[in-house]
Amino acid sequence: MKPMLPTLTFDKPVRPGWLYEVKYDGFRAILNWSTNGIELISRNGKSLLPQFPEIKAFLLKNEAKFKPFLPLQLDGELVSLENPYKANFSAIQVRARLKAVKKITEQAKLTPCRLMVFDILILAGKPLNNLPYQKRKDKLMQLFQTLGLDAAADPANDQLLQPVLANQDFNEIWEKVVLFDGEGIVAKNKQGLWEEGKRTLQWLKYKNWKYVSCFVTAYDKTNGYFFVGVYKNKQVHGIGQVLFGFKPDEKEALGQIIKQNMVREDEQFIYVEPAICLEVKYLELVDNQLREPHFSRFRFDLEADECSYDKFMLEQRNLPKNLEITHPDKPLWDKLNIRKADYIHYLQEVSPYMLPYLKNRLLTVIRYPHGMLGEAFYQKNCPDYAPDFVDIHLADGIHYILCNHLKTFIWLGNQLAIEFHIPFQTIHSKGPSEIVFDLDPPSKDDFYLAIKAALLIKEVLDQLHLISFIKTSGNKGLQIYLPLPEDEFTYDDTRLFTSFIADYLISKDPDSFTIERMKKKRGNKLYVDYVQHGEGKTIVAPYSLRGNEQASAATPLYWHEVDGTLDPKTFTMQNVLNRLKKQGDPFRSYFQTKEIQPFAPVLEALKQGIAKKG
């Protein structure tokens, strides 16, 4: 069965009566489940189950749930899900190339792929392809609900069938796709039918192109491709080859320029010195080569030496428009060879995971205008020269910055704001939005005390059925978070609990922990600062870097990582991004936890206990 295919558009497909889905980058697949068994068929008619046995295993595990709805036919994309809006195409390609059954089985368990289902064609033996898209989508979502399956894209969920949601608002979903560096969206006509094998105008794919300024290095006479590159350390660095996107006259003109300026020629190539500059749009960089490159325009306004690798790397994610990065070569961590361009790249990559914690919070930053070599300063007031897009909020006579958008985030990075500190509530909250325990040992050598305290606290939280998260502080400590529902508790309420935990720690190990506020009286004990959790106080935001020599990051952890082998020095700017890609975000369910956190009965029990003592 040949799938229905969308038509590529370069124009924003905002139309009345249309809906918008995330476009995932993987292998198009149709799932058939009938009395003949389970099939997962690719666009080219090949079975995908030998390479991806985890999909069949998941279905068979849930066979009793699915049985009333068979025969069933679903249309979707088989993906290696990186985040809710992006699939890792190179990862699924690697999986597809595996030959050994043992290796395939191993990878299916370690890094399972998922079928992102966006359409339903047969339900309980009844064909649905003659129904409008809106009705098919409704039936698909009803099926997931009836099956008791989650309806959100989540790379951490072991549910290997996940639905692709339809969105009414193009701009809202597009903002998320750009932020999370997804491939793009598919716009679909609500009234459109599913037509087998047709490249249809009822579905339009709109891609999240990136743009690179590069120069031509060679022309391949055998296939018409133009090879392009950029300068890296004053050497030509090839980034790929482009064929599509040229109008006939543009392609002919470029060919003539190359012939007139060639430096040498062989049987296959005509070579030129870097001079002819182009703008090329592409989806992503895979194995150091542009994926799906398309010619965009000639750049006669550029010199070849302006086409740099650093600029190219900054364009790996779409920077907000009209936002210039100044002095990208400026050294920040000189000993680590981290420049401003590297830091901005970090902020771009980490923004989907960090921005939710900054949203609508009064922001305090620590700026390092001269990198780690110079003096730093705290900034609360928004400077007069801030651009118009920076949101502010007046509180206690201070015009605080609200870092609600990527544009503000990158602008702050360009201002060399390195540390991001936030209060325990949003500007809309009347009380704390979370409880945070800041476990700060007397020195880096005493980090084991933070581990000991964290594990003791975790025992209590588990007994109370409270859901907790933990991160490094980015310096020498650990921080435990309990998300709370908004506007339900006061700081007096949470103080009862933080005080209770502090007393518990000291009762368990008075030689290791103290609530003594005067440093000289603490000795080598870990200070349990339960007073720090209060109105107006701040904590470093998850994934914020710290202004220390290691370029440490305040890194979310999985609880199973908190043991004697945990070393805070390993959580740096350089490895946090790799960690996110390989292990995901340990705080991924943080905001969903707020509504189900059972703190109220714990607080009530504490109050009753205090009343009895009184």
Q: Are residues 249 and 398 in the same domain?
A: no
Predicted local distance difference test score (pLDDT) of residue 154:
87
- Average pLDDT on 247-272 reads 95
Predicted local distance difference test score (pLDDT) of residue 16:
96
Residue 613 inside a domain? The answer is no
State which of 144, 165, 198 marks the end of a domain: 198
Check which CATH number belongs to the domain holding 515 and give it.
3.90.920.10
Contact (Cβ atoms closer than 8 angstroms) between residue 457 and residue 437: yes
Q: Are residues 284 and 380 in the same domain?
A: no
The full DSSP string for 393-429 is EEETTEEEEE--SHHHHHHHHHTTEEEEEEESS-TT-
pTM confidence score: 0.78
- Average pLDDT on 178-188 reads 93
Residue 44 inside a domain? The answer is yes
Predicted local distance difference test score (pLDDT) of residue 582:
81
Q: Are residues 174 and 65 in the same domain?
A: yes
- Average pLDDT on 82-109 reads 92
Q: Are residues 75 and 130 in the same domain?
A: yes
Query: Which element (helix H / strand E) includes 363?
Result: none
Residue 321 inside a domain? The answer is no
Q: Are residues 217 and 188 in the same domain?
A: no
Q: Are residues 31 and 64 in the same domain?
A: yes
Predicted local distance difference test score (pLDDT) of residue 81:
93
Predicted local distance difference test score (pLDDT) of residue 437:
95
Q: Are residues 461 and 570 in the same domain?
A: yes
State which of 155, 174, 198 marks the end of a domain: 198
How many C-beta neighbours within 10 Å does residue 608 have? 10
Instruction: Report the domain count for the chain.
Output: 4
The full DSSP string for 497-529 is HHHHHHHHHHHH-TTTEE---SGGGTTTPEEE-
Residue 609 inside a domain? The answer is no
Q: Are residues 307 and 338 in the same domain?
A: no
Collect all residues with Cβ–Cβ distance below 8 Å to 404 and sequence separation of at least 6: 355, 358, 359, 360, 391
Task: Name the average pLDDT for the chain.
Answer: 94
State which of 198, 230, 251 marks the end of a domain: 198
DSSP state of 484: -
Residue 78 inside a domain? The answer is yes
Does the CA dihedral 147-150-156-161 come out positive or negative?
positive
* Residue given tokens 């030496």 in the structure block: 305
Predicted local distance difference test score (pLDDT) of residue 571:
96
On the question of pLDDT at 320 being above 70, the answer is no
By annotation, the residues acting in catalysis are: 23
On the question of pLDDT at 50 being above 90, the answer is yes
Give me the domain span that covers residue 416: 331-423
Q: Are residues 295 and 417 in the same domain?
A: no
Check which CATH number belongs to the domain holding 275 and give it.
2.40.50.140
The full DSSP string for 35-78 is TTEEEEEETTS-B-TTT-HHHHHHHHHTHHHHGGG-SEEEEEEE
Residue 610 inside a domain? The answer is no
Predicted local distance difference test score (pLDDT) of residue 287:
80
pLDDT digit string (tens) for 324-364? 889 988 999 999 999 998 999 899 889 989 999 999 999 99
Predicted local distance difference test score (pLDDT) of residue 316:
72
Q: Are residues 548 and 570 in the same domain?
A: yes
Q: How confident is the model at residue 614 (pLDDT cuts 50, 70, 90)?
A: low
Q: Are residues 221 and 261 in the same domain?
A: yes
The fraction of the chain above a pLDDT of 70, given in percent, is 99
Residue 111 inside a domain? The answer is yes
Residue 376 inside a domain? The answer is yes
- Average pLDDT on 465-475 reads 97
Q: How confident is the model at residue 128 (pLDDT cuts 50, 70, 90)?
A: very high
pLDDT digit string (tens) for 426-453? 999 999 999 999 998 999 999 999 999 9
